[in-house]
Amino acid sequence: MKTNQVIQNNYDYIVVGAGSSGCVIASRLSEDPKVSVLLLEAGAVDRSWMIDMPLAVERLLTGTKYNWAYKSAPDESIGGRTIDHPRGKVLGGSSSINGMVYTRGNALDYENWKTTYGCEGWGYPSVLPYFKKAEKSLSGRNTYRGDDGPLYVTKPDLTANPINQAFMVAGAQAGYPVTTDSNGFQQEGFGPNEATIYKGKRWSAARAYLPDSVRQRDNLHIATNSLVSKIVLNGKVAKGVIFERDTSVYKVNANRETILCGGAFNSPQLLQLSGIGPADVLKDAGIDVAHELPGVGANLQDHPDIVIKFKCKLPLGLANHLHFPRKQLTGLSWFIKQAGVAASNQFEAAAYLRSDAGVKYPNLKFELLPLAFKGHSLDPYEGHSFQIHLTLMRTHSRGYLAVRSADPKMPPTIKFNYLSDNRDVEILRKAIRMAREVVGQAAFQEIAGQEFEPGINIDTDEDIERWIRNNVGTAFHPSCTCRMGTADDVMAVVTPDLKVRGIKSLRVVDASVMPEVIASNTNAPTIMIAERAADLIRGRLLPAEHQAYFVSPTWETAQR
């Protein structure tokens, strides 16, 4: 494996950030031996058992070795609480520390990008070929799925866990649809939750797009532990970057383009550090304004997450594996054979649902975990338990990101304004009642016991709202801080070709360019964005594919 080679003075392309998008961009651009690519990553290399083992995700999210460990600013709308926001600081970025869930979003998400925000080329027919190009679905190829891409995608066996089975059957008993593939024709309904796991190991963007054969390319240089502090500008043209590694400072030129792939936090942060952003934010931070662009850092979105938790009346789920000797045997099974409980992320069953009649496509995700944790901790309840994450897929609340100084090592202010719009609270309140109804079905009769949290005494609208505001967390999907839009959209940061408005030779390619966050986890869509961006840069876009997609025929009048 070749990393941290001697840095040249000039490259055709400089890619900043080796996360879900940066790995894709660097890999795809360096397929052309005629161009040179430098990939810069502030974190370390990605060779660790903690990254490889799917069930070790908690160590990654709570540690700091591979994690930026950001915290949101206090939000008055949730009682002044701050919320931890782990982000990957390692090759693979957040795909090396995330929950490995592979979900694409709904077709109407992308149609909305096109029709509402004028993002031509980002409608569902245009993005579908890139989802297919990226993936190697172990369930096989069809009109919606690919089987020859670098990203392995596996479908769990829901019959192996009775709690998963009960969840699926209960959803149908409650009148909800069932889908065999939420990433294919029909997202809506109860179905298996696919994962970027292969042969019991995490399949991150780094593992998929930067295998040793790619890292060995002579025209690709990868520099880890390299913190970019500034984009070098010559007037309104990006000429390269300045970065620090091992106490040395480097200035490197980009002959063609500089491409930011830092994600929803680091890409707007670097733009602002470079003098590109809202004038008031830059002046308050003591940074000279090089190019006023008010949308940089604005429009911050996430998926708020609440968790309903139950006692399990039968000896099922992960509690069996928490104590000696089963805990040790579980670890041993993975280390020897990459098999057993530790070879799964355990988020195997999920549902995409609509909260109300008149909602055209799912705005909620329910996700089952066969173990319940107390409060905001990672301390499990005694005995057997399970919990269901209730995640709001489209929020009305908006936040912002703003640098506080010209020091690149100082974390920016990250203000989400969670639940500042009461409509978000109303939908989550309905989600709790919907989840209780599902767990109240016959399929759960022998399994579900006491409701630990919120608890059946929390039942009035007022009590439920108070509990939600005191307990809401995050699904770890920050996005939209460098959003796409038309060239005359004053709050757009990039145009649909992902070029920064008003600055030449500079693009942003990551989850920050989403105009609105999609109705799913964000890793798969971010990889898709990067696949399409690489072809945009190389001038060889795949033809659109017009495939049907599911919309409930009764969505205007029925919630299910």
Whether residue 277 contacts residue 260, with contact meaning beta carbons closer than 8 Å, is answered with no
The dihedral sign for the CA sequence 55, 58, 61, 64? negative
Cα distance between residue 180 and residue 193, in whole Å: 10
- Per the listing, tokens 């360096």 go with 30
Please name the residue ranges forming H helices in 320-411: 326-337
Beta-strand runs (E) in 169-209: 189-192, 197-198, 201-202
In 313-464 the beta strands, taken as DSSP E runs, fall at 349-353, 364-369, 385-392, 400-402, 413-415, 448-453
CA 521, 475, 64, 286 torsion: positive or negative? positive
d(CA 134, CA 140): 14
Which of these, 256, 206, 266, lies nearest to 38 by C-alpha position? Answer: 256
Question: CA-to-CA distance for 22 and 323, rounded, in angstroms?
Answer: 40
Residue type, 30: S
User: What tokens appear for 301 in the block?
Assistant: 């979105």
81's CB contacts (< 8 A; 6+ apart) are 74, 75, 470
Active centre residues (catalytic):
477
Q: How far apart are CA 192 and CA 98, in angstroms?
A: 18
The DSSP letter of residue 382 is: S
Which residues have CB under 8 Å from 227's CB, separation 6+?
42, 243, 244, 245, 408, 409
Torsions phi, psi for 320 (to 5 deg):
-65, -20
Backbone angle region of 175, left / alpha / beta, with phi > 0 → left and psi within -120 to 50 → alpha: left
Mark out the alpha helices in 229-295 (DSSP H runs).
263-273, 279-284
What's at 200, amino acid-wise?
Answer: G
Burial of residue 236 (number of CB atoms within 10 Å: 0-12, 13-18, 19+): middle
Chain centroid to CA 475: how far? 8
User: Hey, how many other C-beta atoms are within 10 angstroms of the C-beta on 350?
Assistant: 27
Closest by CA position to 207, among listed 417, 356, 24: 24
Q: How many angstroms separate the Cα of 473 from the Cα of each of 55, 71, 166, 385?
A: 21, 12, 26, 20
